[in-house]
Amino acid sequence: MALFAIADLHLSIGENKKMDKFSGWEHYEQRIHDNWQAIVKPGDTVVIAGDISWAMKLGDTLPDFTFLHELPGRKLLMKGNHDYWWATKKKMDDWLEANGLNDMAILFNNAFAYGDYAICGTRGWSYDCPADEQTVLLREVGRLEASIQAGLALDKEPLVFLHYPPIYGDYVCEEIMEVLHRYEIRRCWYGHLHGMAGRKAFIGNADGIEMKLIAADYVKFIPQLIAADA
C-alpha cells in the first residue's frame, strides 16, 4: 500500500466553472483520471489537500465526488479556500455514508493512520489576508495542533498537509511554523499556488522541515508519492 497526495483538483463536473481556460489546465479532469488510474492501486491512500470541487453546496458535489469514488484508493479530503460546499464534519460524514462514498473520509481536527505515520492537516491561512483576520488564523492553528495531537495519540509520526503554504516568498506564517517546530514535524506538503505563483513557492528544508508544493497543475496532475509499503 502506498500514500499519495495532490491538491487543487478544482473539479467542475457538475458545475460550469472549468479550469481549461487557464494555461496548463487543458483537459485537466481527464489528465487527473488517467494519471491517477496509472499509479494509484485499490489499497492505496490519497490525501486531497483542498480545493476539491467548485460546487457551492454539499449536495452539488456528487458528480465530482462520484468521479473520485470511481478512482482507486482511499481518499482523505481537506478543506481549501474554494471549497464553499464544506459543512460540519458530522454533516459531511453522514452525507458521504448516505451516498455510498465509503472510500472517502474528512481530515478535520483528526488524524488517520498509515503504517508508521499519522496523516494530519488543516487548511491553514493565507499570506495575502489582512491583519484583522487573525482570529481565523488562530482557529486554523488550533485545528492543526488538534490534528497533530490526534496523530501522536496513534503513536505514529505525524505527516502534515496544509492547503495554504506556510512560507511564500518573503512571507512566513509564524503561528503555523511555531506549531510545526514545537511538535518536531519533519515533512509538510501544501497546495494553493498556481501558475506564476509557483515560482515563489518554498520547496526545500525550512529549519528541519521538508516542504513541497503539490498543487495539481504544478505536479502535472499526477498524485505525488509520499510513502510506500505501509
| CATH number of the domain residue 207 falls in | 3.60.21.10
pLDDT digits over 7-39, tens only?
999 999 977 788 988 889 999 999 999 999 999
pTM assigned to the model: 0.96
Tens of pLDDT, residue by residue, the chain (230 residues): 999 999 999 999 977 788 988 889 999 999 999 999 999 999 999 999 999 999 999 999 999 999 999 999 999 999 999 999 999 999 999 999 999 999 999 999 999 999 999 999 999 988 767 777 888 999 999 999 999 999 999 999 999 999 999 999 989 999 999 999 999 999 999 999 999 888 999 999 999 999 999 999 999 999 999 999 76
The domain total for the chain is 1
Residue that has been written with the C-alpha cell 452539488 in this structure: 60
Question: Domain range holding 207?
Answer: 2-228
